[in-house]
Amino acid sequence: MMPSGATPAHAAGRARSDRSGQVGIVTDSAASIAPELADALGVVVVPMQISFGSSPSAGRPADLAPVEAPLRPSGDERGISLDEVLAHLAQGVHTAGPTPAAFLDAYERADHGSGVLAVTVASGLSSTFATARLASTLRGGGSVEVLDSGTAAGAEGLVVTAAAVAASSGASLEAVAARAGAVARAVRLVAVVDSLDQLARTGRIPDLAGRAGRRLGLRPLFELRAGRPRLLRPSLGERGATEAVLGQWRRSVPTPPGRLHVVALHALDELAAKRLLEGVRAEHEPEEAFVGRFGPVMVAHTGPGVRGLAWWWEAEDGTPLPLPQRRASRSEAELVPPAEGR
């Protein structure tokens, strides 16, 4: 169990030299953790991969024209920027998980002598979890645990920061993994997109649904929980979209309210994310709150006009409060998981 009130700010306060003997934390760039936060927390981020061009063929990442970018990492200074992804959406953007070699290198860099926990994007969305596990078996020495976060983007980032806080307290690898797993079961991501065009273009929804949404001016709402994306009831207009996201958060408030950990996310509209966070703060002051960006990999699947909230609740005794079971309404539908190579 974590000390009461422990946050990433406390963990970041530890000097790098203090991490000797501490559990190392590794994640993938789908977690949308800002480089400065990852550096402050001592988290090693393994970049996902993106390519541009026509649809991929069997056994190859993508068929690429000579002027286009090869498959290469995203999410760091050497990789593909969000602007590059947006410029190539119409002609095709394809994603792939990191290689085993990339994870092996990350494990070596993260190991401070007490083992390593790797937290990955949901296994239902990517092969990254399987690759991270393969790399852990290939590693000659040291203990590596691999956790499927069951989510992505800021929600995955909240799982990672919780793991980093636990590691900074001196917890064992087993305890750090247990804490991260508990938060993964408690975290939720709800977001809105300006249109269904990119989801239809990449095959996540039928093209007919994309055309209908555009004609009616709908702002589609989706959630990601238990490793599956799901369309929720759409909204009309920007104000309606903001209220729809906040409404999903309001319905999650436990009785009695606990400590809230929340991140407001955006791709290219930081002001929209700040408005969401202000809406939360008007009703409940979070224990941990920050604004983050959806990375190039997420935007490759959703398009640029995406913003939302990721959050989890913590009981007064420090226990993450698990998500309640829910039934889907007739207005909701599962999205096709964004398989790599699409």
Among residues 115, 185, 156, 176, which one has the least CA distance to residue 31?
156
Token couple for 221: 């709402």
- Residue 282 reports pLDDT greater than 70: yes
pLDDT on residue 175: 97
- Residue 73 reports pLDDT greater than 90: no
Token couple for 151: 């989510």
Residue 55 to residues 71, 81, 199: CA-CA distances in angstroms? 13, 21, 15
Domains and CATH numbers, the chain: 9-48+96-186 (3.40.50.10170), 188-334 (3.30.1180.10)
- Residue 145 reports pLDDT greater than 90: yes
pLDDT on residue 106: 96
**Res. 62 pLDDT band, cuts 50 70 90:** very low
pLDDT on residue 253: 93
Is 105 in contact with 144 (CB distance < 8 Å)?
A: no
pLDDT on residue 341: 44
Q: Could you list the beta-strand ranges (E) of 194-267.
A: 218-225, 228-236, 259-266
pLDDT on residue 226: 73
Q: What is the mean pLDDT of residues 301-305?
A: 73
Higher pLDDT, 216 or 141: 141
Higher pLDDT, 55 or 278: 278
Q: Which of 51-65, 146-160, 205-219 has the lowest mean pLDDT?
A: 51-65
The DSSP symbol for 243 reads H
Q: What is the mean pLDDT of the chain?
A: 78
Instruction: Calculate what percentage of the chain has a pLDDT beyond 70.
Output: 72
Over residues 168-198, the pLDDT tens digits come to 999 999 999 999 999 999 999 999 887 666 5
**Res. 295 pLDDT band, cuts 50 70 90:** confident
Instruction: Calculate what percentage of the chain has a pLDDT beyond 90.
Output: 46
pLDDT on residue 75: 43
Q: Which of 49-63, 70-84, 255-269 has the lowest mean pLDDT?
A: 49-63
Token couple for 269: 């509209």
pTM over 0.85: no
Q: Which of 81-95, 236-250, 325-339 has the lowest mean pLDDT?
A: 325-339
Strands 116-120 and 24-28: parallel
